[in-house]
Chain A
Amino acid sequence: AQKVTQAQTEISVVEKEDVTLDCVYETRDTTYYLFWYKQPPSGELVFLIRRNSFDEQNEISGRYSWNFQKSTSSFNFTITASQVVDSAVYFCALSVYTGNQFYFGTGTSLTVIP
């Protein structure tokens, strides 16, 4: 069975602080895919990044960076110099090669205080 855990329910930071959102996943499949989505109050899930299990390279995109570690089954997301517009709920998701559905964590609500 597949499972995604986001232990941080809510995080508040002051603008310009760095913040890391944690994601731990469980799967027995050797080929799998990890994703991060952002959900603003409007409700639409916005795709941020995809990482394949066979590619452990970390990635940086502007103020966003992702740290994928298979050894600890983690796929953490860091926002550098946070901004008010980063306030949203962030979801980590897992998909495996042998299935079609996405498994989502319960989300982390991030509030950036001006």
Chain B
Amino acid sequence: DAGVTQSPTHLIKTRGQQVTLRCSPKSGHDTVSWYQQALGQGPQFIFQYYEEEERQRGNFPDRFSGHQFPNYSSELNVNALLLGDSALYLCASSSPGGLLKETQYFGPGTRLLVL
């Protein structure tokens, strides 16, 4: 049973560029959440997708956007990259959707470095 997978594992970009990160949820999961983890900090919630729609959003600017596909996989897009966007980006999946507060299972993350 495959867990949550993310790609790429590492990424280096320059300021002003755009980046797309990808996530495939754990088998049987239909809800995907994205988190940003700066060095030495706990993960911060970016947003959650369910049924191909953004269900909840954390305190992140509109430069951060996402998408969920019919197969439940998801993308995180960040435009106009800033140095402060350098972080580990974690994807978490849970099941099923709806109001139940299911445990979130995390992927290995994508380490983004903005120069």
Contact = CB atoms under 8 A, between A and B. Distances in A.
Interface residues of A, number: 25
Given A37-B106, A95-B101, A101 B48 contact: yes
Contact of A35 (B41, B90, B103, B107): B103
A71 B109 CA distance: 36
A98 B90 CA distance: 23
Interface in A38-73: 42-47, 50
B33 A44 contact: no
Q: How large is the interface on B (under 10, 10 to 19, 20 to 34, 35 or more residues)?
A: 20 to 34
Interface string A88-105: 000101011101111111
B109 A43 contact: yes
Given A100-B48, A101-B48, A104-B42, A33 B106 contact: no
Contacts of B48: 100-101
A99 B56 contact: yes
A65 B104 CA distance: 20
A101 B45 contact: yes
B55 A44 contact: no
A64 B69 CA distance: 38
Which of A42, A43, A105: most chain B Cβ within 10 A?
A43
Contacts of A103: 45
A20 interface: no
A43 B33 contact: no
Which of B33, B103, B111: most chain A Cβ within 10 A?
B103
Interface string B19-55: 0000000000000010100001111110010000001
A46 B41 CA distance: 16
B56 A105 contact: no
Q: Kindly list the 5 A-B residue pairs having the minimum CB-CB distance in the complex, ordered from nearest.
A: A104-B42, A101-B45, A45-B106, A44-B108, A100-B56
Interface of A: 4, 33, 35, 37, 42-47, 50, 91, 93, 95-97, 99-107
14 contacts: A43-B90, A43-B108, A44-B109, A45-B43, A45-B92, A46-B106, A47-B106, A100-B56, A101-B58, A102-B33, A102-B92, A104-B44, A106-B41, A107-B42
